[in-house]
Structure 1
């Protein structure tokens, strides 16, 4: 049975991102996958890596559990809004605190390249935004997507990383929002296999 971990990174659980995460998770579960949903605003943790990598910062119970779920998962799903062309501070803080050396990657002697400790996992990213998706890709150069896909997940060995960019959502008619939810549902059912 495929194990999927969905990480909802919008600071409000009851948001379009929250709905996308729940639709994906429900469809994947109905498709036969074992699914866990981490709704970041419901977790209790300090999002600031206080000393960088200079000193160890004890993981709160919710972050220790998140590491266990990530380690056990075959497939990771991230859902978040694009704010200032990147991700909300809550999700960035989660990544800073959880994707640590010794867990997600390991420094190697005599090499600037790390050992990738999350090899064998795949990922899916859903990003919502007020701007049109083409604007985000072509004019902004998709910085939030690139940060998560290349500089975080692939850096740690997660491949392939596929994505959906949903926009514009501000003032979108119900029909367009429903299309986004349907796409999340369809993708969840597909990726359960």
Structure 2
């Protein structure tokens, strides 16, 4: 049973699918989560990665440089959030290139981690926040975990969020998602709406 939080949370909802069309499963899951959260009184800000045009980082100098205004605005939204929700499809075993470019641009030193020399060892800067990472895929979720060790999920949940100080980071692997039955799609959407209401 999902327990609905009584405290009001600021949620940043990120749809990482390169195609933001509302018929896409990732978009439908994001909408359901947002609707559940807003109905429960939480504040939701949504970002459609497919509607942005962020280039991949191609050098250390670029990664260390100050972000452009569009990226800086997204970083401000991350800082303001209590809870992060990232939803994306698994493409060739990993996040889509467009979503990866978004992560590279946004989660730079100064937001996610302290820059080298500013702290002893690795210092995450996003403590005090929780997150949920949802990945859709063509294979069953248990195959993704047992055979492929969920690498396309762990690279975001642990390789980015956990190391940045986010706790807890909850994970979901939904599949096969290319042509789920109408009943299965409705179950996933209903579950996301409940999770949104609980802000977890």
- Shared fold (TM-score, shorter chain, > 0.5): yes
Normalized per residue, the structure richer in strand is 1
Which structure 2 residue ranges, 5 or more long, are not aligned? Answer: 1-7
Q: Following superposition of structure 1 onto structure 2, how do residues 168-187 of structure 1 map, counting pairs within 5 Å?
A: 168-187=176-195
CA distance in 1, matches of 2:62, 2:74: 22
Which structure 1 residue ranges, 5 or more long, are not aligned? Answer: none
Q: Following superposition of structure 1 onto structure 2, how do residues 20-169 of structure 1 map, counting pairs within 5 Å?
A: 20-46=29-55, 48-53=56-61, 56-107=64-115, 109=117, 113-169=121-177
CA distance in 2, matches of 1:55, 1:44: 17
CA-atom RMSD in angstroms: 1.8
CA distance in 1, matches of 2:186, 2:47: 23
Give the TM-score taking structure 1 as reference length.
0.92
CA distance in 1, matches of 2:96, 2:118: 35
Secondary structure at 1:162 match in 2: strand
Give the aligned partner of residue 2 of structure 1. Answer: 9
Structure 1 residues 20 and 112: alpha-carbon distance in aligned structure 2, compared to 1, 3 A threshold = same
Report the Cα offset of residue 132 of structure 1.
Answer: 0.4
Report the Cα offset of residue 44 of structure 1.
Answer: 3.1
Give the TM-score taking structure 2 as reference length.
0.89
Report the Cα offset of residue 79 of structure 1.
Answer: 0.3
